[in-house]
Chain A
Amino acid sequence: MGILGYGFVWFTLLLALCLQVMPLPDAWLVWRPDWLGVLLAYWCVATPQRVGVLHGFVLGLALDLIEGAPLGQNALVLSLLAYLFLLLYQRFRVYSIWQQAPLVFVLLGIAQLVEQWLRTIFGPVSVSLEFLIPAVIGALLWPWLFTMMQALRRRLGIG
């Protein structure tokens, strides 16, 4: 993977970061898919030797700064997510795309759960099961995203 490949990886990850923090009407916020989580997951599965825990950490730190969350909260969550996907990427290679989606949901859900725990450490929050919605939508988007990114990646010869 050359300069072009790295450029493409970071371009897509930064694009996901922008989508993740794009202002939306208040009622829509919980329906936003976990863009950054899904894209990080894709790169961890596609090129596990290149993209990993440290990428998650750096992106999470940027997300913390933009969102004003306690420094390190999203960094921990995203590096954990990358770690989980790195542990399981070999399974992903043998699963069909429809089997991958539920697994994506479970892993994103675990990450969101950890995030909620961290939030409750830092102060009172209104807790509801709504925090799982981004994981559900992320999993629903997975087949489309995976197919599209695979096609793009093959065309650019990255991997």
Chain B
Amino acid sequence: MRPIKPLFYYGPIPTYRMLLCAVLAFGLMFAEHRFDAVETARSHMTSLVAPIQWLVSLPSEGMRWGAMAVADKQALIDDNGRLREQLLTLSNRVQRMASLTAENVHLRELLHAPNPDDVPYITAELLSLDSDPFTQQMVINRGRRDGAYIGQPVMDASGLTGQIVSVSAYTSRVLMVADANHAVPVENNRNGLRFIAQGTGQLDELDVPNVPATADIREGDLLVTSGLGGRFPQGYPVARVDSVKHDSSQTFMEVTASPISQLERSRYFLLLFPPKRPAGNLSGPERMARQVVWPGDPGNPEIDKINEDALTAALTLIQPAVEQ
């Protein structure tokens, strides 16, 4: 016989469980903030929910495939023609690029400046956009297995998209430049003035704070990465200045810019592998040698600006002095 179910259930009040959960949750949040081990644990746990991510991306994949399947022939032919035209223009530009690059190398040799290397990259495809309206993040289909790492710069066809903030085995999460938590050091392409471009939380707007009233910055200026801070390689387009407002009673100007990268539309991305810098824990003589050759922050010497010959010369000078 089934027992009669009571009308009201007088079980233990769930307050203790709630307290336990609250303590656990705050513990997790704190631990993630402080300890790196949580980061790796998290990346393994993310692989557990990967099936759900894959499942929810199915409908939009299906829609895309369906749209392609029912697209009429004329549209496909037009598309093809347009792409061929684009290919022609781009290959023309590449040819000019080759001669310009050669010229640039010669000029740099004349100036005894080191040549910037080409930055290697891999391609990636968008898996899903963030389902949270208050952050600008997305998930791409490259993970630890492909060499992606935290802090890696992400580009699309037109400009800097953002950087990777967490990595699991097969996917990783990209924080876009427009997120309110993101800032990138930039310089004005016209005159080299340096600024910080900060996200606002809106996809089509970046904020450029702390611009002195006398700074030479105009509407339409292109802002490119300056390479300072060591995370993004130098010279990739980030944003175009939209408006410059100056109130004569204020010390700073209000400058807003719009991202060059098509944050809302891109599906394909490049993950860049900029050359590694030496870690901060250099040995004493080498650190001193670097400081002699390139004065600056000894903990974070700018390796790509250091002449290798000068460095070895300085090292041979300093080494005996230190050992005595």
| B203/A75 in contact, CB under 8 A | no
| B32/A70 in contact, CB under 8 A | yes
Q: Assess A72 versus B202: contact at CB under 8 Å? Given A23-B128, A66-B52, A79-B18.
A: no
| B21/A71 in contact, CB under 8 A | no
Alpha-carbon distance between A66 and B128 when the two chains are bound, in angstroms: 10
Q: Which of A7-28 contact B (CB under 8 A)?
A: 14, 17-18, 20-24, 26
Residues of A with C-beta under 8 A to B166:
68
Q: Which of A77-126 contact B (CB under 8 A)?
A: 79-80, 82-83, 86-87, 90, 93, 118-119, 122-126
Q: Assess A123 versus B29: contact at CB under 8 Å? Given A26-B129, A29-B133.
A: no
Alpha-carbon distance between A62 and B26 when the two chains are bound, in angstroms: 16
Q: Give the nearest-CB partner of A58 in chain B.
A: B21
Residue B17 CB within 8 A of the other chain = yes
Q: Assess A72 versus B24: contact at CB under 8 Å? Given A26-B129, A29-B133.
A: yes
**A60-72 CB contact bits vs B (8 Å, 1 = yes)?**
1010011111111
Contact of B134 among A14, A22, A66, A131 (CB under 8 A): A131
Residues of B with C-beta under 8 A to A135:
none
Q: Assess A75 versus B49: contact at CB under 8 Å? Given A49-B9, A52-B14, A69-B132.
A: no
Contact of B181 among A14, A48, A124 (CB under 8 A): A124
Residue B42 CB within 8 A of the other chain = yes
Alpha-carbon distance between A75 and B139 when the two chains are bound, in angstroms: 21
Q: Give the nearest-CB partner of A47 in chain B.
A: B9
Contact of B133 among A30, A53, A80, A90 (CB under 8 A): A30
Residue A57 CB within 8 A of the other chain = yes
Q: Which of A123-149 contact B (CB under 8 A)?
A: 123-126, 130-131
Residues of B with C-beta under 8 A to A69:
132, 135
Most interface-central of B17, B21, B165 (chain A CB within 10 A)? B21
Q: Give the nearest-CB partner of A73 in chain B.
A: B29
Alpha-carbon distance between A24 and B14 when the two chains are bound, in angstroms: 36
Q: Which of B20-63 contact A (CB under 8 A)?
A: 21-22, 24-29, 31-33, 38, 42, 45-46, 48-49, 52-53, 55-57, 59-60
Residues of A with C-beta under 8 A to B202:
126
Residues of A with C-beta under 8 A to B11:
48-49
| B32/A67 in contact, CB under 8 A | no
Identify 13 residue pairs between A and B in the complex whose beta-carbon atoms are under 8 Å apart, listed by A's number: A21-B53, A23-B57, A60-B25, A65-B42, A66-B49, A66-B52, A67-B130, A70-B32, A71-B38, A72-B29, A76-B29, A86-B14, A124-B181
